[in-house]
Amino acid sequence: MKVQIATTLFASALFAIGGCKKKDGGSPGPGPGGGWLVGEDGLMAAVETSGTLGPGYDLDSDHDLLGIACRGLDTAFVVGELGTFLRTFDGGASWEVIDLDTTRTLRSVAAADDAVYVAGDGLLLRSPDRGTTWAPLPVEPSASWSSVSAAHGGVALALGSSGGVWRHDAAVDGFTSVTSLAGARVVAMSHDGAHAVVAGAGRTILRSDDHGLTWRSIDLGREAELYDAWVTGAGETMAVGADGLLVRVSAADTIAESTIATGTLRTIHINARGVGLAAGDDGVVMHTADGGETWTQLPLGIDRDIFAVDEVAGDGHL
């Protein structure tokens, strides 16, 4: 697949964006507890560890940004409308605009080791070399993909718009259908790939504890509109959705729920120290410092919907 890369250095580049930091010892970024927020009309904003809004990044575009994935201390990938794909290897001091030869909406991005996956409308791609070269996965060309998640070790899961879940194993170059869930919106994996979850609209979520090979259903006990999920290395799931709902599913499948905001929450991310962010419509950003037990709203003054958040630090993720 032909990929054209144009490298641009932006004067307003992000020196203080969630955990991805400059190698040259410049402004170190917010580190654990900060984050990158991407969203409506080209929103790309930083949250400092202090809970304040850091420098932003102006795309000079009103295209929605729908996904972000960080890897290591310096690398991040962003996707969005009209085939938008950006990457940085220096914590945001410079960004490459990569032409994937499409104007289709790219809805989700995942990164693990050197591999990057991009999912979108009629498109599911994998790069083995951090976004330099790309190849499509063997899917029906007309199929659309809502979400993708990747784990260390070469396993990735992709969620089709019809609710089907497919598993890619880079070690054997295998791509197989593993399960499905009507109304599903997100697939998420723990960083080691051992645990995974599929969630969306309805009263059921799916989870796997064997790297996505087999799945079981969990009844939430109520109808829920869930938009994003986070899976810890211990197998706990935290999912967020409409009306500020947070659903927690323990490794033993017990369910607990709470309302942590007033509007729709569309994204969640928690690091290894239990510090993280959940965000959503009208710029609402919630902060936790205890692994999701309690949450506080950050008064950041963002007035656009937030669709995705990520943060990277040297200690990995929860």
pLDDT at 31 over 50: no
pLDDT at 59 over 90: no
pLDDT at 8 over 50: no
For residue 45, what pLDDT is reported? 87
pLDDT at 230 over 70: yes
- Please, which pLDDT band fits residue 34 given cuts at 50, 70 and 90? low
Long-range CB pairs of 41-46, under 8 A, 24+ apart, other chains included? 41/304, 42/80, 43/302, 43/304, 43/305, 43/306, 44/14, 44/78, 45/300, 45/302, 46/14, 46/16, 46/17, 46/18
- The CA-to-CA distance between both ends of the chain, in Å, stands at 35
Average pLDDT over residues 32-37: 68
Nearest residue to 79 via CA among 69, 71, 89: 69
Longest dimension (CA), the chain: 51
pTM confidence score: 0.89
pLDDT tens figures, 137-192? 999 888 999 999 999 989 999 999 999 999 999 999 899 999 999 999 999 999 99
Q: Across the chain, what does the average pLDDT equal?
A: 86
Q: How far is Cα 27 from Cα 121, in angstroms, rounded to an integer?
A: 37
| Element containing residue 204 per DSSP (H, E) | strand 196-208
For residue 3, what pLDDT is reported? 45
Average pLDDT over residues 295-308: 95
What's the distance, CA 44 to chain centroid? 14
Give whole-number Cα distances, 254 to 6, 249, 251, in Å: 49, 6, 8
pLDDT at 5 over 80: no
For residue 51, what pLDDT is reported? 80
For residue 56, what pLDDT is reported? 67
For residue 22, what pLDDT is reported? 34
Average pLDDT over residues 52-58: 75
Average pLDDT over residues 196-222: 97
Nearest residue to 286 via CA among 37, 14, 59: 37
| Element containing residue 221 per DSSP (H, E) | strand 216-231
Give the position of tokens 């899917």: 139
Sheet of strand 44-47: strand arrangement: 44-47, 35-39, 306-310
Percentage of the chain modeled with pLDDT above 90: 69
For residue 83, what pLDDT is reported? 97
More confident residue, 271 or 179: 179
pLDDT at 242 over 70: yes
What does the domain layout of the chain look like in residue ranges? 4-310
More confident residue, 276 or 272: 276
- CATH 2.130.10.10 for the 4-310 domain, yes or no: yes
For residue 20, what pLDDT is reported? 46
pLDDT tens figures, 99-139? 999 999 999 999 998 999 999 999 999 999 999 999 999 99
pLDDT at 252 over 80: yes
